[in-house]
Amino acid sequence: MDALRVCRWVSGTWRPRFGAGLRRRNAGFGTEARRRPQPQASSKRKDPVEDQPFPGLLRTENLGVEELVNVLRAAVVDQKGRPGELTLLSVLPQLSQALGLGHRELQVVRAPGKEASGLVLLSSCPETASRLQRFFAQSRRSQRPTATYCAITDGIPEPSEGTVSVALKLDRMDGIDLAVPVTSPSRKDILEGVKRTLSHFHVMATGCGCALVQLQPLTVFPSQLQVHMALQLCPVLGDHTYAARVGTVLGQRFLWPATTTKPQRQVLDEALLKRLHLSPSQVAQMPLHLHLHRLLLPGTRSRDPPSELLAPVPSYFSRTLQCLRLSQK
């Protein structure tokens, strides 16, 4: 595949220091946090967990165009071929220059949602991009998952493995497009934008009332995985949009009506806040713990098996796993 580039996206930003190379074996979720030596400027050592509640999280509002391009360039994990609002799309021309592509334009082939982290597939070759899109479309039609996400949820899904199948539509509320479930959609609904969505989920580990969940979407719809986990009464940590749909009365969870529930900061109970070493005010800054961990790509020839790309989770994700004592069994 000519001119293929894959980068790791971290919650609205790109995280540097991610080594280059195509990984072909499943390396797990990379849950162990990497420790760096700390300067001993004082004999009184502060708790690094409390000092850095979300380590590794960079935000685009703190970066200039040139800085973001440099971070993007450093985040490339695999490269084949020749070497207003600040967004990924707005800096693709500069990134193309930084990667030595000249006037060849980069386009996004596959990416996680806006607030999720993980692999982003870019291509400067239209033929390669079309081939990849055909592969993903054919895989969806045959219900073969090509993307694997990992998420940390507030709550433990029951059963521990299954599928979520629900029709969704986009409904505008307070200037925001929100994914809303539709019960028994008619043919007219489908023609007007309602889409049937499907995801597989599998609980990998549990602890402290939370779960590490593997998610594989078989359809594409905005915020699909976040909505699906909310419907399981287990919203993703850091979901400040759809977690509000899950209410609790006397320890029992239930769903509020999606069409009347406005997005708001996620509310976590005191025990979970203590476990995460967070204050209530810090929860508002918690990034979405949803990470595109693995992508399958077509082989070089039609008869070749798919290859895979893996991206370890961000350091704030690893920190949360450690705080909750979640480890993949």
CATH of the domain at 193: 3.30.2350.10
Q: How far apart are CA 216 and CA 296, in angstroms?
A: 12
Q: What is the pLDDT of residue 19?
A: 30
| Structural tokens at position 77 | 């994990």
* 201 is a domain residue: yes
Could you read off the pLDDT of 11-42 as tens digits, one per residue? 443 333 223 333 334 335 543 333 333 334 44
- 198 domain-assigned: yes
What token pair was written down for 266? 């996620």
pLDDT of residue 61: 67
pTM over 0.95: no
The whole-number pLDDT of residue 72 equals 60
Rounded to 5°, angle at Cα 135 from 132 and 23: 65
Polymer length in residues for the chain: 329
Residue with token string 């993903």: 136
pLDDT under 70: residue ranges of the chain: 1-51, 58-63, 65, 68-89, 328-329
Q: Is residue 325 part of a domain?
A: no
Number of structural domains the chain divides into: 1
Q: Is residue 185 part of a domain?
A: yes
Question: Contact, 80 vs 1, CB < 8 A?
Answer: yes
Is residue 175 in some structural domain? Answer: yes
Residue 318 lies in a domain: no
Distance in angstroms (rounded) separating the CA atoms of residues 41 and 77:
35
Q: In terms of residue numbers, what domain contains 209?
A: 148-283
Whether 108 is in a domain gets the answer no
Q: b/e string for 145-173 if b means 16 or more Cβ within 10 A?
A: bbbbbbbbbbbbbeeeeeebebbbbeeee
Burial group, residue 65, by CB count within 10 angstroms (0-12, 13-18, 19+): exposed
pLDDT at 101: 78
pLDDT value of position 54:
82
Look at residue 174 in the predicted model and tell me its pLDDT.
85
Per-residue pLDDT, 6: 58
Q: Quick check: is 59 in a domain? A: no
